[in-house]
Amino acid sequence: MSVKYIPVQWNWNKYIYDAVMLLGAGLFLYVFLYAAPGILSHERPINAQVHNARAFGACAFVMLTVILCIGPLARLDPRFLPLLYNRRHFGVMTAFVAITHAGYIVDWYFAFSASNKYEALLFANTSYGQLAGFPFEVFGIFALFTLILLAATSHDFWMKFLSPPVWKRIHYLIYPAYLSVVAHVSFGILQDQQNHVFTAIFVGGALAVGVLHLLAALKDRRTDAATSTAAADWVEVCDVAEMNDGFAKIRLLANGERVAVYLNEGRLSAISNSCAHQNGPLGEGRIIDCLVTCPWHGFQYDVTNGRSPAPFTEKVPTYNLKMDGTAVFVDPRANPPGTYVEPLRLRDGTTS
């Protein structure tokens, strides 16, 4: 078996992104371990192994919280899109931080057990029928293995091999993984925590994730309500005077699909709003040389035929357009992906 895959080369944006991530994680660990032990004021003395475990665990939780905040922030404000562009790098680094946390835990709390330390991790506490003393380790184990799975399959090769829909469903596991981390911390460290600094960080982070996703969902619902259409032969998109050259107007169709209608140097073209890579919003991208760039991960498509430039092979559906005076209409019946459609020319507010 083989998969035709064309790698995307690294660029300065990726290097800068990763450098900032490393600096941020390093700074967090330094503050936790050395600069602010007084602020943390542990209720009783702890050794270096436990202190390191808490530092890496707290860092992994904060990193995972930031990762889950990036998506809704980008939907609420496009200025956050650069953070979304290489978010998978962030996830891989978070997995390594979580693995380090787990290593410290296993090598300290279970290393002196009479049985194998991994067996002790799983079977030392089996009190699943009670709330107090519940074996919170199972939540951490699930979250850790989920992060490892997502990191191992984060490369675009796996998306190509598994297909984007399957890959996307697998990576939705990030949400139950985060809930498991919340449960892991709630049943674990917070039951034995007298200082409330980390409690405030934990509660604030979890609330931020929930509130931002709620706000983004409400914004999407308002946008869909404002642009929704009933089933029709042709659907009005907008008046051509409302369009800006190089950008798109997005219209929600009755079948739930979104179409992006672009104005490019006096010509109108329409393609699906969903990128073939990860369903990114193509309508939020800008046209350069007839190619629109997806704001999520940089995939490009020719707006006249929905095809990525060679040697890439991604394709999205195209749509037919017409005008009635200065009103732009789209045929809601999509053409097969990669179908060329002659752009609609504008001349003095009319078509030619």
Q: For residues 300 and 5, give the distance between their C-alpha atoms in angstroms, rounded to a whole number.
A: 16
Q: For residues 32 and 38, give the distance between their C-alpha atoms in angstroms, rounded to a whole number.
A: 10
On the question of a cis peptide bond just before residue 311, with omega within 30 degrees of 0, the verdict is yes
The two tokens of residue 343 are: 């752009």
The two tokens of residue 86 are: 């290489």
Question: Phi and psi (nearest 5°) for 263?
Answer: -105, 120
For the domain spanning 235-351, the CATH number is 2.102.10.10
What Cα–Cα distance (Å) separates residue 266 from each residue in 241, 249, 261, 315?
12, 15, 13, 24
| Amino acid symbol at 198 | F
Per-residue pLDDT of the chain (352 residues; tens, 9 = 90+): 445 545 555 667 778 888 999 999 999 999 888 877 666 555 556 678 888 988 999 999 999 999 999 989 988 887 888 888 778 889 999 999 999 999 998 888 777 777 788 777 777 777 777 777 778 888 999 999 999 999 999 887 887 788 777 888 898 999 999 999 998 888 877 666 666 667 787 888 899 999 999 999 898 788 766 655 555 688 888 998 999 898 899 888 888 889 999 999 899 999 999 888 878 888 888 888 889 988 887 889 999 999 998 888 889 999 999 988 889 999 999 999 999 999 998 865 444 4
- Residue (of 134, 20, 139, 186) closest to 87 by Cα position: 20
Q: Is the pTM of this model over 0.75?
A: no
- Cβ(100)–Cβ(313) below 8 Å: no
What Cα–Cα distance (Å) separates residue 311 from each residue in 1, 276, 300, 326?
21, 15, 12, 38
**DSSP result, 92-105:** HHHHHHHHHHHHHH
Q: For residues 128 and 25, give the distance between their C-alpha atoms in angstroms, rounded to a whole number.
A: 34
Q: What are the beta bridge partners of residue 330?
A: 235, 321
| H-state helical runs in 110-155 | 117-123, 137-152
Q: For residues 63 and 172, give the distance between their C-alpha atoms in angstroms, rounded to a whole number.
A: 17
DSSP 62: H
Helix (H) or strand (E) holding 346: strand 344-347
How many helices (H) and strands (E) are present in the chain, helices listed first?
Answer: 11, 12
Q: Beta strand pairing status for 318-319 and 321-324?
A: unpaired
pLDDT of residue 40: 58
pLDDT of residue 277: 82
